[in-house]
């Protein structure tokens, strides 16, 4: 019974992240490129924040680490709106904004 409660709690938490007010990008969306996260200092905070909007003042709604990947849909300056990708080598659904300083872009 405790395991079931833990699973339900995890699903509820994941659903709450998707219900955040995420700032939608302006202009046309694309599926032509992606971001492979790299260069994060494992001795520092070690993650790239996934945010609700294109600035560090927006709420953090998730995180990506070295080796994770995200599909880029649109960019505004150094911030890109991403949807879905791979976390710990597992296809994962997510959406939000990331700062591109730690992205290796790929076609």
Distance (Å, rounded) from C-alpha 25 to C-alpha 15?
21
Distance (Å, rounded) from C-alpha 56 to C-alpha 15?
22
Give the predicted TM-score (pTM) of the model: 0.78
Tens digit of each residue's pLDDT (9 = 90 or more) over 1-14: 443 333 333 333 34
CATH 2.60.120.10 fits 22-106, yes or no: no
Enclosing H/E stretch for 18: helix 2-18
Tens digit of each residue's pLDDT (9 = 90 or more) over 26-63: 877 777 799 999 999 988 889 999 999 999 999 999 99
Domain segments of the chain as ranges: 22-106
Enclosing H/E stretch for 58: none
The percentage of residues in the chain with a pLDDT greater than 70, rounded to a whole number, is 81
């Amino acid at each position: 019974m405790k395991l079931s409660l833990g699973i339900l709690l995890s699903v509820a938490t994941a659903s709450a992240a998707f219900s955040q007010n995420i700032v939608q990008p302006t202009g046309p969306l694309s599926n032509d490129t992606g971001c492979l996260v790299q260069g994060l200092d494992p001795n520092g905070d070690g993650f790239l924040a996934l945010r609700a909007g294109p600035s560090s003042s927006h709420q953090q709604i998730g995180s990506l680490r070295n080796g994770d990947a995200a599909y880029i849909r649109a960019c505004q300056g150094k911030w890109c709106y991403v949807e879905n990708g791979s976390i710990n080598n597992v296809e994962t659904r997510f959406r939000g904004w990331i700062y591109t300083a730690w992205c290796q872009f790929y076609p």
